[in-house]
Amino acid sequence: MNYIKLALLGSEGAGKSAVLVRFLTRRFIGEYASNANSLYHKRLSIDGRQLNLEVFDPCSQNTEARCILEEPVDWADGFIVVYNISDVTSFLNAKNILRQIKEARTDNYEGEVEVPIYLVGNKQDLCHARQVGEEEGRALALENRCHFKEVSAAENYQEIANLFTKLIRHVMAQLKHRADRRRYSGSKSMAKLINNVFGKRRKSV
């Protein structure tokens, strides 16, 4: 069984819970309790593999909002950063969140650690009140090497399901890559050890 942990981040009211609830239940509920952090669990199957998905939806209305990134940024295997296309402040905040994720996930010794991220411009149904162009969203995603999609949690299930699936696939590939690297460096150091011990002996025979 694969365990995948995702975190949704974004400004208050950007629609994080709406996006997540759409994915989990296929429904748009409209109003969501938003005074507590929530951790959702879902079992699903992708490409024939059973997955245990955990999604962290932090509350951004209390004081914890200020340290919103501290916990999920280390905990999560992948991120969905949500902004509201009719609210430019939420877009600037998303930009800030992407920068913070990068800073937190950069290993000082080994360089940047690639972490799968989806930048999501929500409330596409409010395009008459649009304050952020689709191209601006795409450019920000490109700059930060993440996926990008504009969606409407209010109107569309399929696009949201697709983006979760794509992100989960990317996370699975990333986790496998990291495990392979660990295994490879483990076997390399074992080979070195064997060589150190037996290599020297062989010389003296």
Ligand X SMILES: Nc1nc2c(ncn2[C@@H]2O[C@H](COP(=O)(O)OP(=O)(O)OP(=O)(O)O)[C@@H](O)[C@H]2O)c(=O)[nH]1
**Interaction site with ligand X (CB under 6 A):** 10, 12-18, 30-32, 34, 59-61, 122-123, 125-126, 152-154
Q: How near is the Cβ of 29 to ligand X at its closest, in Å?
A: 8
Q: How near is the Cβ of 11 to ligand X at its closest, in Å?
A: 7
**Cβ nearer to ligand X, comparing 8 with 167:** 8
**Cβ nearer to ligand X, comparing 123 with 170:** 123
**Cβ nearer to ligand X, comparing 6 with 172:** 6
**Cβ nearer to ligand X, comparing 21 with 172:** 21
CA gap 18, 56 in Å, rounded: 13
Largest Cα–Cα separation, the chain:
83
**Cβ nearer to ligand X, comparing 156 with 174:** 156
- C-alpha torsion sign, points 76, 78, 83, 89: positive
Q: How near is the Cβ of 72 to ligand X at its closest, in Å?
A: 13
**DSSP code for 114:** P
Strands 2-10 and 49-57: parallel
**Which residue, among 36, 2, 43, 42, has the nearest Cα to 17 in the 3D structure?**
36
Residues 103/20, Cβ–Cβ less than 8 Å: no
- C-alpha torsion sign, points 74, 148, 20, 88: positive
Q: How near is the Cβ of 35 to ligand X at its closest, in Å?
A: 8
Q: How near is the Cβ of 199 to ligand X at its closest, in Å?
A: 60
